[in-house]
Amino acid sequence: MRDGRPDLERAAAELAERIPEPLAPLARLAYNYRWSWHPNGPSLFRDVDEHRWKQCRENPVHLLQEAPMASLHRAANDDWLLERAARLEADVRADLERPWSDDFEWDRPVAFFCAEYGIHASLPVYSGGLGALAGDFVKEASDRALPFVAIGLMYRQGYFRQRIDASGWQHEYWVDTDPDRLPGALVTGEDGSPVTIEVPVAERTVRVQIWRVEVGRVPLFLLDADLPENNLMDRWISSRLYVGDPGTRLAQYIVLGVGGVRALRALGIRPCTLHLNEGHAAWAPLELAREQVASGAALGEAIESVRGQTVFTTHTPVPAGNDTYPADEVAHAIQQLAGELEVDSSEIIRLGRTHQDDEHEPFGVTQFALRLSHTAGGVSRRHGEVAREMWHGLWPDTPVENVPIGHVTNGVHIPTWVGGPVHELFDRHLGADWLERAADPATWEAVDSIPDEELWDVRCRQRAELVDFARARSVRDRLGRNDLPSYVEAAVRSFDPEALTIGFARRAATYKRLLLLGHDPERTLALLGGDRPVQVLLAGKAHPRDDEAKGTLQALFNLKGAPVVGERVIFLDDYDLATAAWLVQGCDVWLNVPRPPLEASGTSGMKSVMNGGLQLSVLDGWWAEGYDGSNGWALSGEVEHDHAAQDARHAGELYRVLEEEVVPTFYDRNANGVPSAWLERIRASLRTLGPRFSATRMLAEYTAGAYRPRATVDR
Ligand SMILES: *Cc1c(COP(=O)(O)O)cnc(C)c1O
DSSP 143-156: HTT--EEEEEE--S
**What is the CB neighbour count within 10 angstroms for residue 659?**
16
597 CB under 6 A from ligand 1?
Answer: no
Return all residues near 97 (Cβ < 8 A) that are at least 6 apart. Answer: none
Q: Which residue, judged by its Cα, is nearest atom 9 of ligand 1?
A: 506
Report the atom number in ligand 1 closest to the C-alpha of 581: 15
pLDDT tens for each residue of 88-137: 999 999 999 999 998 888 899 999 999 999 999 999 999 999 999 999 99
Q: Which residue, judged by its Cα, is nearest atom 4 of ligand 1?
A: 129
pLDDT tens for each residue of 358-377: 999 999 999 999 999 999 99
59 CB under 6 A from ligand 1?
Answer: no
Q: Which of the listed residues 117, 590, 604, 622 should we mutate to test ligand 1's pocket, taking the one with most ligand atoms within 8 A of CB? A: 604
603 CB under 6 A from ligand 1?
Answer: yes
411 sits in the region (left: phi over 0; alpha: psi -120 to 50; else beta) called: beta
129 CB under 6 A from ligand 1?
Answer: yes
- Residue among 443, 431, 533, 541 nearest 162 (CA): 541
Residue 112: predicted pLDDT:
98
Q: Measured between alpha carbons, how far is 616 from 613 in angstroms, rounded to an integer?
A: 10
Q: Could you give the dihedral angle defined by the CA atoms of residues 358, 363, 366 and 367, in that order, rounded to the nearest 10 degrees?
A: 30
Q: Which of the listed residues 603, 617, 694 should we mutate to test ligand 1's pocket, taking the one with most ligand atoms within 8 A of CB? A: 603
**Average pLDDT of the residues in 391-395:** 97
Whole-number Å distance, alpha carbon 603 to ligand 1 midpoint, is: 6
Report the share of the chain in percent with pLDDT over 90: 92
**Considering the chain, what is the average pLDDT of its residues?**
95
Q: Which of the listed residues 278, 506, 511 should we mutate to test ligand 1's pocket, taking the one with most ligand atoms within 8 A of CB? A: 506
Helix 299-307, helix 283-294: angle, nearest 10: 130
Whole-number Å distance, alpha carbon 541 to ligand 1 midpoint, is: 11
Q: Which residue, judged by its Cα, is nearest atom 6 of ligand 1?
A: 602
Residue 711: predicted pLDDT:
53
Q: Measured between alpha carbons, how far is 626 from 352 in angstroms, rounded to an integer?
A: 34
Report the share of the chain in percent with pLDDT over 70: 99
Residue 257: predicted pLDDT:
98
Q: Could you give the dihedral angle defined by the CA atoms of residues 672, 673, 676 and 681, in that order, rounded to the nearest 10 degrees?
A: -150
**pTM of the full predicted structure?**
0.97
Inter-CA distances, 365 with 224, 325, 429, Å:
22, 8, 47
Q: Which residue, judged by its Cα, is nearest atom 2 of ligand 1?
A: 129
Q: Measured between alpha carbons, how far is 321 from 323 in angstroms, rounded to an integer?
A: 6
Whole-number Å distance, alpha carbon 132 to ligand 1 midpoint, is: 6
Residue 61: predicted pLDDT:
98
Domains of the chain: 5-96 (no CATH), 110-410+700-704 (3.40.50.2000), 414-432+440-693 (3.40.50.2000)
Task: Name the residue type at position 139.
Answer: K
Whole-number Å distance, alpha carbon 47 to ligand 1 midpoint, is: 28
**Residue 21 — very low, low, confident or very high, per pLDDT cuts 50/70/90?**
very high
**Residue 560 — very low, low, confident or very high, per pLDDT cuts 50/70/90?**
confident
Whole-number Å distance, alpha carbon 593 to ligand 1 midpoint, is: 14
Task: Determine contact, residues 501/586, Cβ cutoff 8 Å.
Answer: yes
- Residue among 690, 705, 601 nearest 314 (CA): 601
415 CB under 6 A from ligand 1?
Answer: no
3-state secondary structure of 701: helix
Query: How many helical (H) and strand (E) elements, i.e. helices and strands, does the chain have?
Result: 33, 20
pLDDT tens for each residue of 133-170: 999 999 999 999 999 999 999 999 999 999 999 999 99
Q: Measured between alpha carbons, how far is 647 from 596 in angstroms, rounded to an integer?
A: 11
345-375 exposure pattern, b = at least 16 Cβ within 10 A, e = fewer? beebbbbbbbeeeeeebbbbbbbbbbbbbbb
145 CB under 6 A from ligand 1?
Answer: no
